[in-house]
Amino acid sequence: MEGYEKAEKVLETLQRLPAMSAPVLKVIQLAGDPDASAEELADSIRSEPTLTADVLRVANSAYYGVPGQVTTVRMGVILLGMATIRSLAMMAAAHTWLDQPELHGRRGREMWDHLLTTALYASELARKYAPAFQEEAFCCGLLHDLGKIALMTALGKQYDNTLTAAAQRRMPDVAAERMAFGFDHEAIGLALARKWKLPEMLCDVIGFHHDPRHAEHKRDFVEFVHAADYLYWKQALGENFAPERWPVEEEVAFKFELNDPTWLQYLNEAVEKTKKEFLSALMAA
Ligand SMILES: [Fe+2]
Ligand SMILES: [Fe+2]
């Protein structure tokens, strides 16, 4: 991350930023608090209609084995568990951010696919290397590019042009952003995450996923997302993948065995399959 002080100052001057609804933020915070009760969590979910609908829809989907049986948010919270509720709240947040007129179209769709797929790669990696933290890894993947969403919202076309130039010059997005603005999406994302008082692990992931060595508290989660981000681009761009644009730290590649083609193929297939299941659970009536 570079240009944090500048990003923090710029953040104060921006008129348009992704909005975080107070109930959604409260759910994210409560669902990460081991002392919070199911009742407290259900109360804050109920004050956000979209989230209430999501919780009931997912809890009643075939995926959880009791279709049509869950009638209250409290039952949903107990069935799904705190971590899944937190994922749903984060997905609701990400969806709201991306569902604005200036993000309709290619960039918005691309970003949604990127966030969800990166979350699934992070979760698959955690399944093997830190099974107890699978849901956390998923959550971190979902919000890691908060800074990009902030720049898309605030700068629109100007930021779009920056990303296009980065692709044409085959340079990392963060480098193109620094050239254009004097800071990158990690810096502005971290400034925003701190302003919203998001949990420490999320702040770290948002601020350091392109360079996990600088993570301040939760380096493990940052590494999952760093690797997942790389895997997303490698798979999404196929033959056009340029390692100089999406570099992966050697140490991280070694740790997660990212040079093993059999493992990579397994990961790609697992993510594709889970993505289908996940989306159908979310859409289920
Ligand atoms: Fe990023
Ligand atoms: Fe990313």
For residue 114, how far is its CA from the centre of ligand 2 (angstroms)?
Answer: 7
Taking the domains of the chain in order of start, what are their residue ranges? 21-92, 100-285
| C-beta of residue 52 within 8 angstroms of C-beta of residue 70 | no
For residue 47, how far is its CA from the centre of ligand 1 (angstroms)?
Answer: 31
- What is the model's pTM? 0.87
Residue-level pLDDT at 104:
62
For residue 65, how far is its CA from the centre of ligand 2 (angstroms)?
Answer: 33
For residue 78, how far is its CA from the centre of ligand 2 (angstroms)?
Answer: 32
| C-beta of residue 189 within 8 angstroms of C-beta of residue 207 | yes
For residue 196, how far is its CA from the centre of ligand 1 (angstroms)?
Answer: 19
Residue-level pLDDT at 282:
67
Question: Which pLDDT band, with edges at 50, 70 and 90, does 102 fall under?
Answer: low
- pLDDT (tens digit per residue) in 226-261: 999 999 999 999 988 888 999 999 999 999 999 999
Instruction: Name the closest ligand to CA 113.
Output: 2
For residue 51, how far is its CA from the centre of ligand 1 (angstroms)?
Answer: 26
Reported as half-sphere exposure (CB side, CA atoms, 13 A), residue 14 has a value of 21
For residue 229, how far is its CA from the centre of ligand 2 (angstroms)?
Answer: 5
Instruction: Name the closest ligand to CA 189.
Output: 1
Residue-level pLDDT at 262:
96
For 219, other C-beta atoms within 10 Å of its C-beta total 16
For residue 105, how far is its CA from the centre of ligand 2 (angstroms)?
Answer: 18
With a pLDDT cut of 70, the percent of the chain lying above it is 94
Instruction: Name the closest ligand to CA 188.
Output: 1
Question: Which pLDDT band, with edges at 50, 70 and 90, does 15 fall under?
Answer: confident
Handedness of CA 252, 256, 261, 266 (dihedral sign): negative
- The mean predicted confidence, pLDDT, of the chain is 87
For residue 141, how far is its CA from the centre of ligand 2 (angstroms)?
Answer: 8
- pLDDT (tens digit per residue) in 59-93: 887 677 776 788 889 988 888 888 888 888 888 88
Question: Taking residues 131-151, what's their average pLDDT?
Answer: 89
68, burial (CB in 10 Å: exposed 0-12, middle 13-18, buried 19+): exposed
Residues whose CB is less than 8 angstroms from the CB of residue 79 and which lie 6 or more positions away in sequence, other chains included? 59, 64, 66, 70
The helix-helix angle for 106-129 and 261-283 (nearest 10°) equals 120
Using alpha carbons, select from 106, 196, 115 the residue that is nearest to residue 148.
115
Instruction: Name the closest ligand to CA 174.
Output: 1
Q: Which of 105-114, 172-181, 208-217 shows the lowest mean pLDDT across its residues?
A: 105-114
Structure tokens at 256: 């997660």
For residue 144, how far is its CA from the centre of ligand 1 (angstroms)?
Answer: 7
- pLDDT (tens digit per residue) in 159-185: 989 999 999 999 999 999 999 999 999
- CATH class in words for 100-285: mainly alpha
